[in-house]
Amino acid sequence: MYNKEVIIQATITLIEEKGEHLEEITVRDICKNAGVGLGLVNYHFGSKEKLIEMCVERIINGIVERFQNMRKETEALSSFEKLEYLGNMTLDFLFEHSAVSRISVLTDMQTPKADDNTHRTYAAYLPLVAACRPDLDEAAINRKTLYLITIMQQTFLRYETMSQTLRIDLSKRENRKIFHSQVLHDILEV
């Protein structure tokens, strides 16, 4: 296997092992797990931080693809219920994998790309929003989908402040489900 890919796989394994403690991952650990020399991380990726960002993006890409392929699990649900289901899965993932999710969301905000995780999430939600509101034109569907993704990112990034403002503990799954359902009703006006 190519050195660069070996380093990526070793880093992903460490990210999964460390969970919320990504600061504990060292270049030495990465290189030891990959069986490569210390200089290769900087040579291929420029820095440990850039390597971790790339690995986080790859992890999130896998989750987004899973979201896009959830059809079997939800085929008996209405469009609105599918949107609720996907939103709850998204929020649960964000909160359960907060270190990885924070890196992903903030990277997308700081250096947006045409096919970043935020855009891929948007693309997964777009047909569901359209199915919930077939009476709306394309521009309105695009805006409503963008509102939804933005609110979910902000719910995650600013959950403590939002919890105080809304007087609901958004760190609790059941409260997030209630909040998400309210947001969907507000945005979709259904």
pLDDT computed for residue 63 by the predictor: 72
Of residues 140 and 93, which shows the higher confidence score? 140
How large is the average pLDDT for residues 19-42? 89
Identify the pLDDT of residue 73: 76
pLDDT of residue 129: 97
Instruction: State residue 115's pLDDT score.
Output: 86
The residue that leads in pLDDT, 96 or 30, is: 30
- Res. 20: pLDDT tops 60: yes
Report how far residue 94's alpha carbon sits from residue 144's, in angstroms, rounded to the nearest whole number: 21
| pLDDT reading at 78 higher than 80 | yes
**What gap in Å lies between CA 117 and CA 145, rounded to an integer?**
15
Tell me 69's DSSP state: T
Say whether pLDDT at 89 is over 60.
Answer: yes
162 near 154, Cβ under 8 Å?
Answer: yes
67 pLDDT band (50/70/90 cuts)? low
Task: With a cut of 90, say whether residue 126 has pLDDT above it.
Answer: yes
CB of 122 closer than 8 Å to CB of 145: yes
Q: Please give the residue that has the higher pLDDT: either 79 or 16.
A: 79
Task: Please determine, for residue 184, whether its predicted confidence score (pLDDT) is greater than 70.
Answer: yes
Query: How much is the average pLDDT of 4-32?
Result: 88
Count of CA atoms in the C-beta half-sphere (13 A) of 81: 7
pLDDT at residue 68 in the model: 65
Q: What is the model's pTM?
A: 0.78
pLDDT at 136: 98
Q: Does residue 180 register a pLDDT over 60?
A: yes
Alpha helices in the chain (DSSP H): 3-18, 27-34, 39-45, 48-68, 71-74, 79-96, 98-110, 117-132, 138-157, 159-166, 173-188
Closest CA to 14 of 32, 2, 1, 36: 32
Residue 176, amino acid: R
